Structure 1
C-alpha cells in the first residue's frame, strides 16, 4: 500500500499576517510549524503502515523552500520520503489552485492507495483542500475521521457528525481528512530527527506536473479577498453602584426595549 500524507507549513497562531493589498497570507521562514492536524494525519499513516508489511508513506507539501522542514518533520515521525511543490508559480494559490497542484502530484506518485490530510489548516481554516483533491482524483472522500481500521482490503472508518458518530466502509483508493481525536502524536526520537535532517527532498515545479503557469498560484486562483482589516471593538459601559440597583434595572430594560429585545 502506498499512503500519501498532505502536510502544510503554517505560521504559528500568534504570527499569522495578511497582505492588505493582495489579500494573501504572508509566508516567511520565521516561526513556521507543521499544521497541527497534519501531525495527526502523519501519525495515522505511520500506524496503518505498521499493520501492512510492504506499505510506504510519502509526505507531500506545497510551499516555499522553507517547507522542506515540515517534510523532514514528517520523516522524523515515520514517513519514508517527502516531495515538495515549490516555485514562484505556486505563490498566492487559493484552495482551487492548491488542490489542482496536489492532485497532479499525487497522480505523478501513482499508484496511491490512500491519501490522508488534516481536516483543516490553522492559517486558512477552510477545510476545502482535502475534499477538492479527492474530487480531482475521482476518489471517495471521508471527512472528520476519528478512527480507521483495515479489514480484508476495506477501510472501516468512524467519522464525527453533528449528532454523534457515523460508521463508513470505503474501498481504496480513497482520501480521508482526520481530526485531532484520531490519535496522540508522539514526538520523534533524536535518532529519527538526525536521520530526517539528511533526507533529500525533491522539488517539483509546474513542468514536473505538466501544468501551465496560469493554472497555478495567484493566476489560477479565482478566489479574491476583497478587503482585509482589523475589527474595531467599541464598548460603551455605564457603571452603577451597589445602592443604584433600581436605576440599573430601569436602564437595562430601557436599553433592551430600544433594541426590540423585550
Structure 2
C-alpha cells in the first residue's frame, strides 16, 4: 500500500494560513521562501513520476487535519492504474499508527493478495482472522438485537434443535433461503457458521456488488469489503459448482436483488450433497 499526499496548492494553503505568522517569526522570510520552492520542486517531480507507481490502494482519513487526504485520494485514483480507494473515516493523519486500521484486511478486501497477476476468488481467498471476526460490526450486541435472529436446525431423527447441530460438519452443503432486511441477514448467518462450525459460509451475491465505484466509498464499500473478507462470491453457475466441488458451505438466495426489497419471513433450507 502506498499513500501519496502531494497536492501542493492545498498544502501551501494550510502552511500559510493560521501558521504563517508563527513560521515567519521563527524562520527568516527568505529561508521560508526557499523551503517552499524546494517543496514545489519536489511535488512537481513526484507528479511527473506518478505513471511509474504501481500502488493499488489509496487510503485516506476522514479526520486528517494536516493534509487534504480525501481530495488527494480522489485525484490519485484517477491517475493511477487499477487503483482502489479505501476510507478510514474516523482516523487522522498518522493512519497506519492509529487503532482501528487493519492493513491486512484492507489488502485482502482490495484483492491485492494473490498468487498471480489475476485474482482467483477461490485460490486466493484467506479465511477471516480471529481479529477480523471479533471486530466485525455485525457482532455488536445492538446489531444482533436489531436482527433478532434465532438459529434452528433439524437432526437426522427429525428432532429440531437450536443452533446448527443438524447441519453436517463437512460439506458440500447448499443453503437456500429468501432475503430479509436488504440482505443484512447474510452477516448473521456467516457469523453463526464461523462460531459453531468453524467454517466459512460462502454467500453468492449479485456480481455488481463487487464492482462498486468511488461514489459508493462511504455507503456500500465498507459492507462489500466485509462481504469479501467473510467469503462473499459473485453468483454464477460456475462459482456455485466450484464451491460444491470444493466441499464448501454455500448460501444462495434464488430471489436475487428484487427480493431484497420485499419484507418476508426469512427461511432457510439445507441440502446435503
Which structure: greater strand fraction? 1
TM-score normalised by L of structure 2: 0.25
Structure with the larger RCO, 1 or 2 (CA within 8 Å, 6+ apart): 1
Which structure: greater helix fraction? 2
TM-score normalised by L of structure 1: 0.26
